[in-house]
Amino acid sequence: MSSESGPVPTPSAKRRRIALACSACRTRKSRCDGARPTCSNCTSQRLVCAYEATDHLTNDVVRKELVNGLEQRVKSLETLVQRHDQLLNEIGSAQDNSAVSSSLRDEQRRIPSSASALPSHDIQCEATGLEDVNTEGVVDGTAISFLDEQDSGYFGSSSNISFMRHISRNMPISGIVAATGQNQGRWENDIIHSSRRPHLNSDTILCTPDTASAYILPPPTQLESLLESYFQKTGVLFPFIHPTSFLQTYHDIRSNGFTRLRRTWLGLLNMVLAMAVSTDGTGKLSALERAAQSNIYYSRAVALCNTQILRGSNLEIVQYLLLMSQYLQGTQNSVQTWNIHGLAVKAAFSLGLHSEHANSRFPPIEQEVRKRTWFGCILLDRSLCLTFGRPSSIPEHFIQVSPPIPWTNINNATANRHDKDDISTVFLTAAIDLSKILHSIIARLYNHNLGYGLTLEEAELNLRVFQLEQEMSEWQAFQDSRLRIWSAVGMPDIAASKDRVAIRCRNVLTLRHLHLEILLHRPFMIKALDKQVNPASQRPLPASVAHMANASIRKCVHSARTIISIVGAALCRSDAENDILGAWWFSLFYVFNAALTVFGGILIKSVDNEDQTGPSLHERISQARGSLEEATRALRALDRENRTVQKCEEYLKALLQALEQYSDRFNDDGAFEGVEATQWPLVVESMNSNMAIFDPTENQESAYDALGFFNGDLELGQFFISGTS
């Protein structure tokens, strides 16, 4: 029977039902395959294919398409999240996070980051914005080998590196310059060139996406403690953030669970926290621990505002840029502070902070905030102009807004003449007036740092210095009694004073004033040093002019020694806290610049020849040795585990060693006895052997980097060549 049966017929394909046929097929009553955008029938017959859903099908069709679209979007988001997780894991596995960073993260709490908890336009940060925090490697994925980056920087007449050029030429055969061999040409110019390796420095603390999460804040107690620290120190010396308004905003945001806040405000908050940690002077944290913690807050701020800073669209961005520029002064990337400051100034101009008329349209508190932020730009501009030796970004005639007033005086509030707010305002006003004198000194004595050198004759220089001295005397005479300039003999009063805010303001203002005195009289020291290098090209000076020039040099050295004494007394006291100075990098700059000035004064012979009744050369060397030793002790007490401070301390020790070794070979005429010219490179080599910066195994820079110690951005925490690495 089976043999009689034929093959089983294949069942016909079941007609596939479609949800909706196109209009053309429905009209012709032909079978439509439902293909979109054009079905096969319409394609073959070249008809216009359109789908028009009927009422009873509309809901079904729309619902299905919506579900399909949502499924695709969810798949895309899942793929993107997986990709980001993979990148974060790869980066995290390649880096050794420090114990400080780990312990800090364990104590932190996460702000809700789901779409339902945070508005996407407020503080949500795309992960792709955090992927480029690392510099490029030596070889990338396309087998492209990156060569050394060539960086250049201009350091004009007011910078430390320019001053060091004149000192180095007065050492036999320009001792330090000779030791650098082929780099001598670079040392003689205002333009400094350096090579930067295309890889990360192992000592640099990295801004990884793990530590830079913009959605993390420390616990409330720790955060509020840092805010209090900021407004007790940086917020007093640079009071451009209104404490009451800022803290009120913080409490409002905290009360709503951190679910509604501006991205720029959160970025500013992180910069405030970074500055509070970086400027901590209590000694509880070492420099490495402070750098690790502050870098976390800085990284989050960058992740939040790295695009907003190019727009400069609100006042918070200007304040954010000012704090970033200040923070970078104390990091390995201090050279960036010049460019960040430029962004702050441009943003301030774009918002009209320089205009009294524009400010008058805002409420009283905001008027004062805008005014103080503009003054913050001015103070930072004058400081960077001085240390980098570059022209000012804000001309003096652009400063036309009225002076600041205490916050408590706004809206006819009753002000306490002795509270922290008042002393901060008095300090700010004094600093603004002093910055005007600083601008005049750079303009009249250093030709605006335009690169022409010191072209004034001694007689004209005497006249201008005398006029500027009068301005400084008038400024000092009208100072508030709480901020009067003092000398080292007044430092014992610190122990009896309980107003540490006023003490800190007075110390900082005194150091700024003394440094301006050094800058005021330094042109005479420079001319004397240059004259000794090439005496044939210099004509003899009249006796009266020479006497005034030598007196100016002595004032310069005296101010330098006073700076060293004040900082040393503030740091080395056992009966008072050390946190009565400004940020550590400013103290480092003042002490190191003063030590350099003292050392430069030793090389000038005309002072001894002109004043026979004054101390002899041997006595001056003994005084200089004492000041350099005190400066070394001050730097040792300034910070712990701070590589920048340690470098400067080692260099001062090397200068002391050279001074000790050869002090007995100076005769009464100021000449070297028994020292062959060829011996000075050995002295320099001995100095180099004591300093890690000269060790090529620790620093891949050339021997020329030694001269980076006298770089113009020392006040900014790091030196130019190292700062670009």
Q: Model confidence over 488-531: pLDDT tens digits?
A: 555 555 555 667 888 889 999 999 999 999 999 999 999 888 88
pLDDT the model gives residue 324: 94
Nearest-angstrom CA–CA distance, 240 and 377: 10
pLDDT (0 to 100) of residue 600:
87
| Cα gap 448→453, rounded to integer Å | 10
d(CA 274, CA 325): 12
Provide the 10 A C-beta neighbour count for residue 44.
9
Amino acid 580: pLDDT: 84
Tell me the helices (H) and strands (E) count for the chain, helix number first: 27, 4
pLDDT on residue 516:
96
**Distance from C-alpha of 687 to C-alpha of 672, rounded to nearest angstrom:** 19
Do 379 and 436 meet the contact criterion of CB atoms below 8 Å apart?
no
Q: Which amino acid, one-letter code, is at 646?
A: Q
Q: Which residues pair with 216 in a beta bridge?
A: 110
pLDDT of residue 628: 92
Q: Phi then psi for 34, rounded to 5 degrees? A: 75, 10
pLDDT of 690: 38
| Residues of the chain under the 50 pLDDT cut | 1-3, 58-62, 94-142, 173-187, 199-212, 414-418, 575-576, 670, 672-725
Q: How many Cα atoms sit within 13 Å of 387 on the Cβ side?
A: 29
Average pLDDT in the chain: 74
User: What integer pLDDT is reported at residue 147 of this predicted model?
Assistant: 60
Pairwise CA distance, residues 627 & 566, whole Å: 11
Query: CB-based contacts of 427: which residues, under 8 Å, 6+ apart?
Result: 236, 237, 483, 505, 508, 509
pLDDT at 77: 87
User: What is the predicted pLDDT for the residue at 161?
Assistant: 82
pLDDT at 611: 55
Q: What pLDDT, on a 0 to 100 scale, did the predictor assign at position 331? A: 80
Residues facing 196 on adjacent strands: 149
Whole-angstrom Cα distance, residue 464 to residue 458?
10
Torsion, CA 699, CA 703, CA 708, CA 710, rounded to 10: 140
And the tokens for 421? 């707010």
Output the pLDDT for position 603: 81
Nearest alpha-carbon partner for 438 in 518, 355, 339, 370: 518
